Amino acid sequence: MASSLKDKVVWITGASQGIGEAVAYRLAAEGVRLALFARNTEKLSALSEALQNQYPACECLVLAGDVRDSNVVNTALEAILQRWGRLDILINNAGIASPMGLLQESAPEDVSQVIDTNLKGAIYALQAAIVPMVAQQSGCIININSIAGQTAFPFWGVYAASKFGMKAITESLAQEQRQNGIKICGIYPGAVDTAIWEGISESLDAETRRTGMLDVRQIADAVFYVLSQAETVWIPELTIEPLKPAL
């Protein structure tokens, strides 16, 4: 029997745009309680208002912050627990990409930003979310990874390193927490049409992205598929790619 998501407390990092925003809309339709976390307060507030207008029963909590700061991440969790008293689902989605190029040409600040956001930021969110889930003996965490976390592509080594690291954390944590009734899943999308491509590759114009990449709503549907499984069913990972990719 499929699991109902109604009234589940869901924390989405990187919620202000792209995949995070699409997941927020998809889950709001199921009657969840949404904690929306990202750096852009204005976008988060607009998203919260739009969700509550479209789904009047939807409860939203806006949490502005940067996943690179563990103290900010922990404060966000405290706000969630103060509001709802529990955390059922974490969508660990915040991520960035740097311009493609040779490894030796990668600026140190770009390396730090990618690793700090994609890997360390993901770990901080995991560390925070696991604590109440262990106490509850239940929960589900979906790490939104990338196909680059399964296959390393040339000219994008640092990004791949951050995503391979996230894959390792996902698999390790999944084995640690199965005994506590907590499901950990890694979703590995191929190219998705989001703002992350802006400034990465000049050859990928808007039209190419629209016709040769996945739509964010397709990733949101994949997230819903994982979350809607019966309590006794665990999906460790899910890879989703466009049939005819632009890359």
Please report, as a single letter, which amino acid is at residue 45: S
Regions in the chain scoring below 50 on pLDDT: none
Q: What is the pLDDT of residue 247?
A: 56
Q: Which of 25, 124, 159, 188 is catalytic?
A: 159
188 is catalytic: no
Q: Which pLDDT belongs to residue 195?
A: 76
The predicted pLDDT at position 57 comes to 87
- pLDDT, tens only, 67-122: 999 999 999 999 999 999 999 999 999 999 877 899 999 999 999 999 999 999 99
pLDDT in tens, 189-206: 999 988 776 656 555 555
The confidence score (pLDDT) of residue 210 equals 63
Per-residue pLDDT at 245: 65
Q: What is the pLDDT of residue 198?
A: 66
Sorted by where each begins, the domain ranges of the chain are 9-240
SS (H, E, C) the chain: CCCCCCCCEEEEECCCCHHHHHHHHHHHCCCCEEEEEECCHHHHHHHHHHHHHHCCCCEEEEEECCCCCHHHHHHHHHHHHHHHCCCCEEEECCCCCCCCCCHHHCCHHHHHHHHHHHHHHHHHHHHHHHHHHHHHCCEEEEEECCHHHCCCCCCCHHHHHHHHHHHHHHHHHHHHHHHHCEEEEEEEECCECCHHHCCCCCCCCHHHHHHHCECHHHHHHHHHHHHCCCCCCCCCEEEECCCCCCC
Please name the fold of domain 9-240: Rossmann fold (3.40.50)
